[in-house]
Amino acid sequence: MTDFFDALETRDPAQREAALLAALPGHVAQAQRLAPAFAEILRGVDATAITSRVALARLPVTRKHELLERQRAARARGAGDPFGGFAAIGWRGLLRNSGARRVFQSPGPIYEPEGHAADYWRSARAFAAAGFEAGDLVHNCFSYHLTPGAWIMEAGAQALGCTVFPGGTGNSEQQLAAIADLRPVAYAGTPSFLKILVEKAQEAGQTLSIRKALVSGEAFPPSLRDWLGGRGITAYQCYATADVGLIAYETSAREGLVLEEDVIMEIVRPGTGDPAPEGEVGEVVVTVLNPDYPLIRFGTGDLSAILSGPCPTGRSNTRIKGWLGRADQTTKVRGMFVHPGQIAEIVKPYPEVVRARLVVAGEMANDRMTLQVETACGGPGELALRIAETIRDVTKLRGEVELVLPGSLPNDGKVIEDARSYK
């Protein structure tokens, strides 16, 4: 299965990169002009100079907790802006441009706008890669309540020419009755709920009509993929968030996830905005060319890594390994919170340090911190002593320093490892 949604998926990588970077200055300028939060965050930034990935990497990363904090602050002062200044659109009565079609609420609560653009969340490519075709009836089991998950999927399926049944979540008996009546060939939703439907159908002696699926919202291990395949359902996964929509999607090659065409993605070391080398696990940071909600260098909090080489299906965009965990590794040590950003602050004055990992060990109420530092400078010595002093200055806690050779630390994206025993 190598059918493409459009020609953009197979264009020359240099052409794609040039197009994305050419659009970037205007995107930054629009955010500064129409989104008050970015006018503040990017104050003093010359948008016309943001024409390269190096220039983009100099801009601050905005993380989900900052969206929440700014939205809460706006509500507290009665500012009348539910989006905390991050959206370029609102609705009648707000000071900024009208244009929001829907407003969603994600846990926090964080509010997100939906504009009027066709396939606003850009999920159609994921459906095409999963083998969906115009005319398919899609049984959509993402929630239509508060959050945008169902609408992300519905818009993409409809853009491909599919018809959508809004099944929503839960009520498995009623869902199976609808499936028996309507005979949909396709499913969208979480993989775990699809498994529940399959099992309940088997218990009831019902043969499901579903033969293809696009799943998201949770981990999709190969064991579950194979379990579904053994029951006649070919399922693929996609990676999307409520803030930015589709980020990447799986193809028939089953070798990582291919980036969506309007996404500029960086992998940064957790707790920093510094791009990590190709192949190193880090936090997914995205800039999506959405003029309505122009999130620039948005830290998703998810961990992944770039895969080298193009997708065997012929899609030429960058691939990532998929979801590899969460980047927020904040840990409480002796009553004090230690953040990944503090680890970056500790090692920043030492250019000889390649990578660092704080290991918190011991038993409850007897915490021990050891900062493992990759460096070509061997053995304990002056460097370790200076870093230990910086640990005290930054965290207000004492910690040991262990110097290790470059390449010694695991490539798992962890900056803080909690190895304590809680028995």
> In this structure, what token pair is assigned to residue 125?
């490519």
Distance CA(402)–CA(423), nearest Å, equals 27
Flag whether 367 is in a domain. yes
pLDDT at 28: 98
CA distances from 110 to 32, 64, 372 (A): 21, 9, 36
DSSP-assigned states of every residue in 281-307: -EEEEEEE--SSS---SEEEEEEE-EE
Please state, in angstroms and rounded to a whole number, the distance separating the CA atoms of residues 248 and 261.
Answer: 9
pLDDT value at residue 93: 67
How far is 76 from 15, CA to CA, in rounded Å? 46
Predicted pLDDT at 1: 46
Tell me if residue 58 falls in helix, strand or coil: coil
Q: Is residue 49 part of a domain?
A: no
Distance, C-alpha 173 to centroid of its chain: 33
**Number of structural domains in the chain:** 1
CA 16 – CA 54 distance, rounded (Å): 17
Q: Which of 369, 283, 288, 274 has the alpha carbon at shortest distance from 326?
A: 283
Residue 20: which of 289, 245, 247 has the closest Cα? Answer: 289
Query: If phi over 0 gives left and psi between -120 and 50 gives alpha, with beta otherwise, what is residue 148?
Result: alpha
- Dig out the tokens for 147 from the structure: 């959050």
In a domain, 319, yes or no: no
Q: Is residue 121 part of a domain?
A: no
Which DSSP letter does residue 140 get? E
Q: Would you say residue 119 lies in a domain?
A: no
> How much is the pLDDT for 98?
73
Distance CA 194, CA 279 (A): 32
* Contact between residue 9 and residue 318 where contact means Cβ atoms under 8 Å apart: no
| Cβ atoms of 5 and 125 closer than 8 Å | yes
Q: Is residue 350 part of a domain?
A: yes
Strands 137-140 and 186-189: parallel
To which residue do tokens 């609420």 refer?
A: 105
CA distance 33 to 400: 48
Range of the domain at 346: 331-418
CATH code: domain of residue 366: 3.30.300.30
CB neighbour burial string for 314-344, b if at least 16 within 10 angstroms, e if fewer: ebbbbbbbbbbeebbbebebeeeebbbebbb
Q: What is the pLDDT along the chain (423 residues), one digit of tens a residue?
A: 457 999 999 999 999 999 999 999 999 999 999 999 999 999 999 999 999 999 999 999 999 889 989 999 988 887 778 899 999 998 876 656 678 899 999 888 899 999 999 999 999 999 999 999 999 999 999 999 999 999 999 999 999 999 999 999 989 999 999 999 999 999 999 999 999 999 999 999 999 999 999 999 888 999 999 999 999 999 999 999 999 999 999 999 999 999 999 999 999 998 889 999 999 999 999 999 999 999 999 999 889 999 999 999 999 999 999 888 888 787 878 767 788 888 989 999 999 999 999 999 986 557 889 999 999 876 667 899 999 999 999 988 889 999 999 999 999 888 998 888 654
Q: For residues 359 and 415, what is the distance between their CA atoms, to the nearest angstrom?
A: 8
Report the 10 Å Cβ neighbour count for 162.
Answer: 23
Assigned domain for 251 exists: no
Q: Residue 404: inside a domain, yes or no?
A: yes
How much is the pTM? 0.85
Q: Which of 64, 96, 73 is nearest to 295 (CA)?
A: 64
Beta bridge partners of 282: 304
Cβ–Cβ contacts within 10 Å for residue 87, how many?
A: 28
**Continuous segment of H or E residues that includes residue 173:** helix 172-182
* pLDDT of 97: 67
